[in-house]
C-alpha cells in the first residue's frame, strides 16, 4: 500500500484554512484577558493550571542566567549555536542594508521615508515535543539585526540549550512559560515582563489563537499553522533524497503536510518504496507515518501542470528537484521559502544557512512573507517644506478636499497660499 496517496491536478485543493478553530480562539481570549486584568498573579495561576510550571518555580531568566547557560554547554554544542547565529545575523544584516532611506524633491519641498526598528520584541519558541533553540536564534538574532533595543524570549520548560541559544542570540531575558498566557503577558505586560511592540515566532494553536487576539494591540509576524513541504521533482531526481526530505518534514508533527508533485509516475512509486524503508530506522517513525498518511503525491502530465499545482498550494516550503531549475523557478509565484536543487535541502533552511525558517503556512504565501528584519521595522514617511509647497499643489489639495466636503481641510491648505 502506497504511503503517499496519488492525486490528480483536478483533485488538488488549496491549503487555505482557518488558522484557529472557534473553540480554541474563545478559550485563548479568556486566558489572555485573565492575564491582562490579573497581571503576574493571573499569569502564574494560568501557567500552573495548564501544566506550564510547578508552584514556586522560577520563570524569569535574566541576561546573566542566559550567559551562564551558554557557558555550561560543551564546546561543540556551543559552537553549533554560535555559527548558526552568525549565519542568521549575516543574512539579516544584508537584508537590512538593502532597505535604504529615501529623500526626493516635491514641488516646493521634499518627501521621503525612513526605516526605524520597534523598541521591543517578544520572541516565542515552542517547547512541546521538541524544544527548538533554532527558533530562538531565528527570531531573536533577526530582531537584534533589525536594531530592536529590548528582546524577550518566551519558551515553556526551556532546556539548557534553549537558554543558551537565547544568550547567544543577545536576548535580554527569557520567560519560561508558553501558551496563550505568555502571549498575553508579552502583549500587555505584567510585573517582571514588559509589554512588547511586536510578538513573533511559531507556536501551537493556543499561541496562534492568542496572537490573533492581541494583533492590533501589538504587531505580530503571522498566524502560522502546521508545517508544509512540497517537493516538485521529475525523473532526474533521486527518490531516496526526496523520501528523506519528506520524512524530515513529517516528523515535525502529525499535522505536518508532506507533498510530492511529479511528472514521473515511476518516481512516485520509488519514493513510496524509499519512504517505507527509511521509516523502519526512524526514532520518530510513528509521528512521521501519520503525517505522511495525510500527505499525497500529485501526478501531473507537464511542467506547466506541475507549476500550477505548486502555485495552487502556495506552501510554506517548496523544494524543486528538476532538470531545468531556472525554467521551473520562473514559473513559481507563491511560496514561503524556495529551495532549488538537490543541494538546497529544506532542512538547511530550518537550521540557519541564513534565510529565516519562520514562514507563512496554509496558502498564506499568496499574500504574506516570512519573518525578516522587515517584521521589526517601520517605514515612516515624511514631508518637508520650510515656506510653502507650490501653488498648484495647494490649489489641488483644496479642490480635492472640497470634492470630499471637507471645507476645513481646504482652508488649511489655502492658508499656505502666498
Q: Catalytic residues, which ones?
A: 316-317
List % helix, strand, coil for the chain (3-state, nearest 5).
45, 20, 35
Measured between alpha carbons, how far is 388 from 106 in angstroms, rounded to an integer? 11
Rounded to whole angstroms, what are the CA distances from 196 to 80, 133, 140, 331, 379?
A: 29, 21, 13, 40, 19
* DSSP-H helix ranges across 314-365: 325-330, 346-350
Please state, in angstroms and rounded to a whole number, the distance separating the CA atoms of residues 43 and 21: 23
**Which of the 8 DSSP states describes residue 218?**
B
DSSP run (H or E) holding 114? strand 109-117
Helices (H), 63-129: 63-72, 75-98
Q: What angle do CA 136, 206, 51 make, to 5 degrees?
A: 85
Question: Distance between the two ends of the chain, CA-based, in angstroms?
Answer: 83
| Cell 507515518, residue located | 289
Work out the angle at residue 324's Cα, subtended by the Cα atoms of residues 320 and 326, and round it to the nearest 5 degrees.
Answer: 80
**Helix, strand, or coil (residue 351):** coil
Amino acid at each position: 500500500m502506497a504511503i503517499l496517496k496519488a492525486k490528480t491536478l483536478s483533485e488538488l485543493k488549496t491549503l487555505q484554512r482557518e488558522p484557529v478553530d472557534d473553540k480554541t480562539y474563545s478559550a485563548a481570549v479568556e486566558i489572555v484577558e485573565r492575564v491582562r486584568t490579573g497581571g503576574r498573579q493571573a499569569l502564574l495561576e494560568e501557567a500552573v493550571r495548564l501544566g506550564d510550571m510547578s508552584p514556586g518555580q522560577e520563570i524569569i531568566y535574566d541576561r546573566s542566567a542566559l550567559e551562564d547557560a551558554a557557558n555550561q554547554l560543551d564546546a561543540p554544542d556551543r559552537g553549533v549555536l554560535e555559527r548558526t547565529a552568525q549565519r542568521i545575523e549575516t543574512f539579516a544584516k544584508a537584508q537590512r542594508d538593502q532597505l535604504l532611506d529615501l529623500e526626493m524633491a516635491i514641488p516646493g519641498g521634499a518627501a521621503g521615508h525612513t526605516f526605524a526598528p520597534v523598541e521591543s520584541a517578544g520572541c516565542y519558541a515552542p517547547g512541546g515535543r521538541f524544544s527548538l533553540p533554532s527558533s530562538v536564534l531565528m527570531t531573536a538574532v533577526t530582531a537584534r539585526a533589525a536594531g530592536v533595543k529590548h528582546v524577550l524570549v518566551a519558551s515553556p520548560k526551556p532546556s539548557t540549550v534553549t537558554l543558551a541559544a537565547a544568550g547567544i542570540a543577545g536576548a535580554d531575558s527569557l520567560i519560561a512559560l508558553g501558551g496563550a498566557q505568555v502571549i498575553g503577558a508579552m502583549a500587555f505586560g505584567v510585573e517582571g515582563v514588559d509589554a512588547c511592540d511586536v510578538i513573533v515566532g511559531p507556536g501551537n494553536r493556543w499561541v496562534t489563537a492568542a496572537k490573533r487576539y492581541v494583533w492590533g494591540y501589538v504587531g505580530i509576524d503571522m498566524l502560522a499553522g502546521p508545517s508544509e513541504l512540497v517537493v516538485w521533482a521529475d525523473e532526474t531526481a533521486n527518490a531516496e533524497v526526496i523520501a528523506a526530505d519528506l520524512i524530515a518534514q513529517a516528523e515535525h508533527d502529525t499535522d505536518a503536510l508532506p507533498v510530492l508533485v511529479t511528472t514521473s509516475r515511476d518516481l512516485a512509486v520509488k519514493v513510496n518504496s524509499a519512504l517505507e524503508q527509511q521509516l523502519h530506522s526512524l526514532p520518530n517513525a510513528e509521528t512521521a507515518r501519520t503525517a505522511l498518511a495525510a500527505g499525497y503525491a500529485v501526478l501531473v502530465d507537464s511542467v506547466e501542470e506541475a507549476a500550477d499545482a505548486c502555485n495552487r498550494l502556495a506552501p510554506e516550503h517548496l523544494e524543486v528537484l528538476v532538470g531545468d531549475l531556472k525554467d521551473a523557478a520562473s514559473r513559481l509565484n507563491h511560496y514561503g521559502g524556495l529551495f532549488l536543487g538537490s543541494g538546497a535541502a529544506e532542512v538547511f533552511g530550518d537550521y540557519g544557512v541564513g534565510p529565516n525558517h519562520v514562514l507563512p503556512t496554509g496558502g498564506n504565501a499568496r499574500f504574506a512573507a516570512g519573518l525578516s528584519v522587515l517584521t521589526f521595522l517601520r517605514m515612516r514617511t515624511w514631508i518637508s517644506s520650510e515656506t510653502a509647497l507650490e501653488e498648484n499643489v495647494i490649489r489641488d489639495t483644496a479642490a480635492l478636499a472640497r470634492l470630499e466636503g471637507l471645507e476645513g481641510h481646504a482652508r488649511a491648505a489655502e492658508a499656505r497660499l502666498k
